[in-house]
Structure 1
Amino acid sequence: MWVHYLKMAWRNLTRDRAYTVLNIFVLVIGMASFLLIGLYIKDELSYDVHHEKSNRIYRMWTELSAEGPGERSASMCFPAAKTLEQDYPELVEHGVRFFNMQSPFITLGNDSVRYNEAHVYFTDPEVFDVFTFEFLKGNPTALYDTNGVVLTERLALKYFGTTDVVGREIMAESNIQLEVRGVIANVPSSTHIPIDALISMRVLNRMFNVDLTNRNWVWNPCWTYILLREGVQPEDLESLLPEFVDAHYPDIMRTRMTANLMPLEDIHLNSHLQYEIVANGNVDNVRLFSLIGVFILILACINYTNLATSRATRSGREVGVSKILGASRKELVFRFLGESVLTSVISIFASLVLVELMLPLFNLLTGKMLMSTALFQWENTLTIFILAVVVGIAAGLYPAWMLSQLPPSVIFRKRSKAGLGVAVRKGLVMIQFCVALGLIIGTVVVNRQFDYLQSQDMGFDEEHLLVVPVKWDAAMTYRAMRKELIASDAIVNMSRMNDVMGLKHNMHEYHHARLEANDYMYFASLVVDEHFVETIGLQIVAGRNLTEPGDDTTGVVVNETLVRQMGWGSPEEALGREFSTPGFNERIVGVMKDFHFVSLSEQIQPFALDVKTGPSEVFFTRYFCIRVVPGMEEEAHLDLLMAWDKYHPGQPLDAYYLSEALQSAYRSQNTLRDLMAIFSIVAVSIALLGLFALSAFTAEQKTKELSIRKIIGASNRELFKVVTLDFVRMAFIGVLITAPLTYLILQNWLSKFAYHVELDWFSFLVVSIVAGGIALIAVVFQAWKASRLNPITALRYE
């Protein structure tokens, strides 16, 4: 019987080719969009799940409360991992750490090539007992060698041209001789720890001639991961962490600090702490795209339903004949469902082809490396097939029910109970219009918000500012290099800093008069030199810059927000106040105008600039920043390259412009904006096709009425009104429903930004009128056709 239904379904589809092509086209667009969004969401949700023990791996993080902003840190102190493992062996199987020298890169090389690598970490030998890496060469004991390093396949090929490199030597920095003890497969991109090479943590002890990894409980430079034993719940360990903090951390931190655990698989979407390894994703974006994908699929189903019910009157006589010959309602329902399911299955296969064609562009937009092969894994293929069947049933259920319920006498009268079908179709079209309108308004507001953020004044001059990541050896030559470079006609000024202005910063301890002895507050801070304010383009509103001798031990410059939050009155009143750091009796010598030292998505917080000299200057120098004369970028880069080769021959040089880095920081926002715009256009196009189909059906149903009106003298304007009035009403009701709901949703979304555009009803009205006008075009075309019909032709058979 099912074969018979499929044959009839195929005959009906091939008989009315225009109807079939339109239906399949809309379903293909909707399904392809849904599958692309599904690939994106699946990738976002799959971060770090490739580790076999991922459900037992947790990252430690800490929250330090203080009178100031405090600190919520993704990194930990060195001793925590191993001490936790020793204190609670019944709960913790292993504790491993990742440490990158707090540097933007580590230089690797051999006799022929040297490169700066951004994702090289010192780690514990047990790392391969916790995380899953595929060894191509060597084995998981590789890092027990005190000189051991494990390379990814990519790095092995980059430096040696082969993966058969176990036993070969490679140099880290300029003086750390390492031996390759293993090669692992390239780490999947869906991880919050991108890895190119892993160096044994034991190398650190050799570098510093001291057991650096088990001493300081305050300095927190490494990321710490805990593997719980089988059967242990995270709550079992978390309940003991206050006891752990009391037992090991210094007195000054015990009452202020809480240690916490975060599941490995939750980090990418839910962790937005300070000192993250890389910028993570956003679970709100995943939810938003999920809704958009579902909405697009619903719109495609509604379109099919509307077209099918509009076509019902053409199939009515066939249904009537079938009923007279004894066909049951159940058989008719299955027959129509078979047709819709067949249409859906054909569409899903066509959509897979479209996904394959569109995936390169989609990857370019999202910055991902999604593969269509993921759709052909057996569980995903089964899901897609089930999706096609469900969509077919959902789209065809109402037309099947409506047609099968009508008695033959009604069907053959030609004036069937079309009114019921029209009412339902109007309701479905209104849903389409509401969804499309909501997406249009949402896209407009998202664009306005992100344009607003990216066009705001950061409070300093980020243009023409060259940033050079450096290591300690380069920091030692800073003053000599600066003297040569500022003599260049292409370079205005040069400074140094420990983090990148506008992108990241560190937290430093400060003491003021209201605090007890040996008590500190934590404020966002940069360690710089006396040329920083002029180089960056900050504005001093009270006092002076860090330019006088002795400022390295006595002077601090703070921002206006810090002065306000401390209750010190005006910027002038803050000058001279004690603002000491551990070991130095410092004071405030200047107050600078507020500026955005992190993303514009965050509120400006208290901030301080400090100066260090001597050994501390070298330790805190991670970047050079060079102000370039506009239009002389090429000359400045050549001068920098010459000075670099003079002081660091053979060392690779990396440099980038701060403005470009700040734009890259907004990549996730631009991705959200672009994808919302694209899929909103898809949704609106599907909704317009639905309106076009329903208006065509309405015009056809009103042919006799329009002809009689024309004969008795109705004008084209009156005929337009007959065809379009219902759609104008639907658009008006749709605006009344959608605008308030969208306003509330967008207001909640904008509230998550420290700085955002204001929503106003006038903008909503304008967008609604434009959207309604676009929708009306589809209806006006059918009204125009109806106004031009020949009444004699329409009434010939009456």
Structure 2
Amino acid sequence: MLKNNLLLALRHLWRNKMYTAINILGLSIGITAFLVIALIARYELSFDTFRVDRDQIYRVYSEFSGVFSGQNRGIGTAVAPWVDEHVSGVAYKAQFFTTGATASPLNPQGKAMDEARQNDIAVVEPDYFSVFSDYEWLNGDPESSLAEPNQVVLTAKKAEQYFGVVNPVDALGRQIQYGDASILTVSGILADLPDNTDLYFNDFVSMATVESGNWVQKYKLNDLGSTNSNSQLFLKLLPGKQAEDIDAQLVALERQYEAEHKEHGFIVNYKMQPFSKLHFSPANIGIFDQSRSPAHLPTLYLLIGVAVLLLLVAAINFINLETAQSIRRAREIGVRKVLGGSKEALVGQFMGQTFLLTAFAMIFALFLAKFSFYYFADFMPPNLTFDPFSPQVLLFALGTTVLVALIAGTYPAFVLSAYRPALALKDRIGVFGKGGGSHNLRRGLVIFQFVIAQVLIFGSLAVGHQINYLLHKDMGFSKDAIVYLNLPWRDTSQKYLLAEELKRWPEISNISLHGSPPAENGYSSSVIKFQKDGEELSHNVFRKFGDTSYVHLYDLHLLAGRNIQPSDTVKEMIINETYARQLGFQEPAEAIGHYLDYDDKKVPIVGLVQDFHFRSLHQVIEPVAIADDHSSYGTLGLKLMTGSTSGTQLEGLLARLEEQWKRFYPDNTFHYEFLDEAIANFYESEQRTAKLVRTATLIAILISCLGLFGLVSFAANQRTKEIGIRKVLGATVSSIVGLLSREFLLLVIIAFALATPLAWWATRQWLGDFAYHIRLSWWLFALCGGLGLLVAFLTMSVQAVRAALNNPVDSLKSE
């Protein structure tokens, strides 16, 4: 019986090759999208799930209110010892610093073995490995390997990378130079952790190294007043203890902060963040790695929703085509029932046919998924790979095949098996016309498909329009042809010599030493006070430090006053329009000549610049002050001449820049970045979203049009004789095309009417994340509806025109 059903299924699929191809193609595309997105979701949701006692681990972070409001994943360095002394219910605490530094492994003679490379490093206490107890020690232990200054513990892969050893333990006792001067000895080796962790550190420096003053960066220890985003505190609670128990005890520390630092103008609340939520938290209280965007849980849920919808669209295609084709099989079903075939046997036969077709689609989908991982490489999470023959993928593929077959096959199977033999043998069953008992459902399914397609079309147009707006909006400063170099912090003299050398180059029109470009992901702010009419005003002001060329290099628009004068420390400031208005000046230029209370001294306002966007367009413009402070110089900005920014000329110029860099910084890696590219990277996540939406739109349109093509084709075949008679009676090709297309076009118009409010709402929600965004104009909706109708009409016209051009003699000769 099974063999017979298999042969019948293969024969039916082969006899209806076009519909089989449409079904396999549609299902395989839908399954591919579902499979790829499911793997992404599984990977993102798996982060740090392997941690022991994960639900008992919390991070303490800072939340500010008052003059300055916001959140910071870091805390003051005095919080950890305070918790140690005053808080009960904590099993272990891990205070550590996240930092970056260049690392040069040294040979036994103390010479660098390789070029210094930037690394992500954690400066830890031994108790770090009590809070996170999942590490396997290949050699050493926390108490002995991290107890003394100048000790570093490496993971196995990092030991192999640094020293080229086959056995990682052979790296013990070797030395590494971090930054310009810190030479540390390898004192322990850890086994590598899985890739799906946000604690991605491979170099663990002893806290005693920082305390001894021999680390590349200086940290102000036991300081409550300053909040450093690199200063971390994780707590593992005792069994039975809750975060609320710790929150109640931290109130005393918050009161102490408020009492000791009233001059700040804001208060700090210390919050408990579950470790399990770290991966999906916003960037300011999220992951440590600034080189990648944090995972966004709503976007992940959106992806899952898109995957399910695309799978449903593909299943709907199958349901529509199979129920439409059931008319062709009506006589076969009638004969089988007359000869004693049971309903159960017919359902089993049709479900088996669906499973076979779905299996073919799944095989094709696995190959499409492999291709998708290459095409969407920039969208995929780091370290996520796809092996179509891995047990996990094969098991998932089997489950998806069964699920899709049940969704797509159950309804057609029961529709087919429910036909009454008398009606089936008399051909009294139609597609969308009389006698078609399921025609309303098919209409509804076609509408549902095109609602999804129209929403995605509008989303794709709106997202693309917004991203174009973001990338081309005037930021208030010049960003073209500007390249900047990140300078080593420790070497204070070489930067001036390098700048003087580059000023002689004719390819460079302007040079500035400064803290950072006008716009960046990070920022530095300070509470600055201002006395006005006997009242003290406090504002949180974002600071930009640069030399006298800073304003000219970036073409900041000086509206009034003058530029700053050279100074080793902050002696005068330029402010933006927003800050001037917040100081109470209706005419911003009136602020010039007034004094600000900054760093315990009076600093005059000497200039006013036009507002500029110093962060992404997600955020509004806030108060900014520009000053000269030589100790903050960490960047060298270069304005290139127009003729030096294209092709081989640019490559040659960058190569010469690297040569000069090696003259002054032989032990540091040459790294440059173009400002316009850095600003474009602000919207990396949005650009990935745009690519996803475009692809989902194309998939939804393709699947919907495949189904529409199949339905029109089948309707044309069912009405072959009617079309022949109409042509004999004088009907034109256009009237026959209209006859076959009219009802389907009406369904697409209904879908557009239903999709419009959904698309408007969804797009408004997405645009709400931006302080500056496009307006949803009527032409976007008109373009969306026009594109939907055009695609649907062209799809239908291909088959409708073919049917209209057939010779009526061929269709009527059997009558």
TM-score between both structures, scaled by the size of structure 2? 0.90
After superposing the two structures, state which structure 1 stretch, 82-91 or 693-702, moved more: 82-91
Structure 2 Cα separation of the partners of residues 515 and 329 of structure 1: 91
User: In structure 2, what is the equivalent of residue 216 of structure 1?
Assistant: 223
User: In structure 1, what is the equivalent of residue 154 of structure 2?
Assistant: 151
User: In structure 2, what is the equivalent of residue 457 of structure 1?
Assistant: 474
Amino acid at match of 1:126: D
Identity of aligned residues (%): 27
Structure 1 Cα separation of the partners of residues 653 and 365 of structure 2: 51
2:267 to 225, 248, 256: 256
User: In structure 1, what is the equivalent of residue 560 of structure 2?
Assistant: 542
Spell out the pairing of 1:292-307 with structure 2 (5 A cutoff): 292-307=306-321
Spell out the pairing of 1:264-275 with structure 2 (5 A cutoff): 264-273=275-284
User: In structure 2, what is the equivalent of residue 233 of structure 1?
Assistant: 242
Amino acid at match of 1:150: V
8 Å contact kept, 2:225–2:261? no
Amino acid at match of 1:59: R
Structure 1 Cα separation of the partners of residues 82 and 619 of structure 2: 35
CA deviation after TM superposition for structure 1 residue 36, in Å: 1.2
- Equivalent residues, number: 787
List runs of 5+ in structure 2 lacking aligned partners. Answer: 645-649
Structure 1 Cα separation of the partners of residues 296 and 174 of structure 2: 41
Q: 1:262-313 CA deviation, whole Å, 9 max, x = no partner? A: 2233233331327963242333322332222112111110111112112212
Structure 2 Cα separation of the partners of residues 186 and 518 of structure 1: 55
Q: 1:152-176 CA deviation, whole Å, 9 max, x = no partner? A: 4443333311233011111122322
Spell out the pairing of 1:92-107 with structure 2 (5 A cutoff): 92-100=91-99, 105-107=101-103
2:164 to 161, 165, 187: 161
8 Å contact kept, 1:469–1:624? yes
Structure 1 Cα separation of the partners of residues 48 and 535 of structure 2: 45
1:762/1:62 CA distance change after superposition, 3 Å: same
1:369 to 383, 407, 414: 383
User: In structure 2, what is the equivalent of residue 626 of structure 1?
Assistant: 638
After superposing the two structures, state which structure 1 stretch, 510-519 or 665-674, moved more: 510-519
Q: 1:562-599 CA deviation, whole Å, 9 max, x = no partner? A: 12233222122111223222232223221111111111
Q: 1:536-575 CA deviation, whole Å, 9 max, x = no partner? A: 221211222211668x343121111112233222122111
Amino acid at match of 2:282: S
SS of structure 1 residue aligned to 2:361 = helix
Amino acid at match of 1:691: L
CA deviation after TM superposition for structure 1 residue 140, in Å: 4.5
SS of structure 1 residue aligned to 2:284 = coil
Q: 1:725-775 CA deviation, whole Å, 9 max, x = no partner? A: 112211221211112221122122212211111111222112211221111
User: In structure 2, what is the equivalent of residue 177 of structure 1?
Assistant: 183
1:274/1:516 CA distance change after superposition, 3 Å: farther
Structure 2 Cα separation of the partners of residues 82 and 702 of structure 1: 84
1:656 to 673, 679, 682: 673
List runs of 5+ in structure 1 lacking aligned partners. Answer: none
Structure 2 Cα separation of the partners of residues 730 and 722 of structure 1: 14
8 Å contact kept, 2:66–2:266? no
Q: 1:192-247 CA deviation, whole Å, 9 max, x = no partner? A: 45434221121011126999564211222223322233333223222333223224
User: In structure 2, what is the equivalent of residue 19 of structure 1?
Assistant: 19
Q: 1:339-391 CA deviation, whole Å, 9 max, x = no partner? A: 2133223322332233224322222454633212498455x654442322121
User: In structure 1, what is the equivalent of residue 401 of structure 2?
Assistant: 388
8 Å contact kept, 1:475–1:622? no
Structure 2 Cα separation of the partners of residues 711 and 626 of structure 1: 78
8 Å contact kept, 1:488–1:639? no
After superposing the two structures, state which structure 1 stretch, 654-663 or 243-252, moved more: 243-252
1:400 to 410, 413, 419: 413
1:123/1:493 CA distance change after superposition, 3 Å: farther
User: In structure 2, what is the equivalent of residue 498 of structure 1?
Assistant: 515
1:694/1:223 CA distance change after superposition, 3 Å: same
After superposing the two structures, state which structure 1 stretch, 662-671 or 362-371, moved more: 362-371
8 Å contact kept, 2:105–2:175? no
1:25/1:509 CA distance change after superposition, 3 Å: same
1:202 aligns with 2:208: yes
User: In structure 1, what is the equivalent of residue 780 of structure 2?
Assistant: 763
Amino acid at match of 1:665: F
User: In structure 2, what is the equivalent of residue 59 of structure 1?
Assistant: 59
CA deviation after TM superposition for structure 1 residue 336, in Å: 1.7
SS of structure 1 residue aligned to 2:633 = coil
Amino acid at match of 2:30: G
After superposing the two structures, state which structure 1 stretch, 559-568 or 293-302, moved more: 559-568
Structure 1 Cα separation of the partners of residues 655 and 9 of structure 2: 71
Structure 2 Cα separation of the partners of residues 130 and 516 of structure 1: 52
SS of structure 1 residue aligned to 2:483 = strand
Structure 2 Cα separation of the partners of residues 793 and 767 of structure 1: 41
Structure 2 Cα separation of the partners of residues 606 and 212 of structure 1: 28
SS of structure 1 residue aligned to 2:336 = helix
Amino acid at match of 1:73: N
After superposing the two structures, state which structure 1 stretch, 27-36 or 410-419, moved more: 410-419
SS of structure 2 residue aligned to 1:690 = helix
SS of structure 2 residue aligned to 1:541 = strand
SS of structure 2 residue aligned to 1:602 = coil
Spell out the pairing of 1:665-744 with structure 2 (5 A cutoff): 665-744=682-761
Amino acid at match of 2:398: F
CA deviation after TM superposition for structure 1 residue 411, in Å: 0.5
User: In structure 2, what is the equivalent of residue 108 of structure 1?
Assistant: 104
User: In structure 1, what is the equivalent of residue 36 of structure 2?
Assistant: 36
1:780/1:759 CA distance change after superposition, 3 Å: same
User: In structure 2, what is the equivalent of residue 125 of structure 1?
Assistant: 126
8 Å contact kept, 1:580–1:587? no
8 Å contact kept, 1:511–1:519? yes
Spell out the pairing of 1:318-357 with structure 2 (5 A cutoff): 318-357=332-371
1:291 aligns with 2:295: no
8 Å contact kept, 2:450–2:704? yes
CA deviation after TM superposition for structure 1 residue 518, in Å: 10
Structure 1 Cα separation of the partners of residues 88 and 529 of structure 2: 39
After superposing the two structures, state which structure 1 stretch, 408-417 or 318-327, moved more: 318-327
SS of structure 2 residue aligned to 1:625 = strand
Amino acid at match of 1:522: N
User: In structure 1, what is the equivalent of residue 541 of structure 2?
Assistant: 523
Structure 1 Cα separation of the partners of residues 613 and 606 of structure 2: 21
Amino acid at match of 1:388: T
Amino acid at match of 1:72: Q
1:571/1:332 CA distance change after superposition, 3 Å: same
After superposing the two structures, state which structure 1 stretch, 184-193 or 195-204, moved more: 184-193
SS of structure 2 residue aligned to 1:626 = strand
User: In structure 1, what is the equivalent of residue 647 of structure 2?
Assistant: none
1:623/1:152 CA distance change after superposition, 3 Å: farther
CA deviation after TM superposition for structure 1 residue 706, in Å: 1.9
Q: 1:387-436 CA deviation, whole Å, 9 max, x = no partner? A: 22121111112211212222100100012254223332222112112211
8 Å contact kept, 1:363–1:369? no
Structure 1 Cα separation of the partners of residues 286 and 205 of structure 2: 21
SS of structure 2 residue aligned to 1:218 = coil
1:557/1:428 CA distance change after superposition, 3 Å: same
1:514/1:227 CA distance change after superposition, 3 Å: farther
1:242 aligns with 2:259: no
User: In structure 1, what is the equivalent of residue 451 of structure 2?
Assistant: 434
Structure 1 Cα separation of the partners of residues 524 and 137 of structure 2: 36
Structure 2 Cα separation of the partners of residues 196 and 374 of structure 1: 30
TM-score between both structures, scaled by the size of structure 1? 0.91
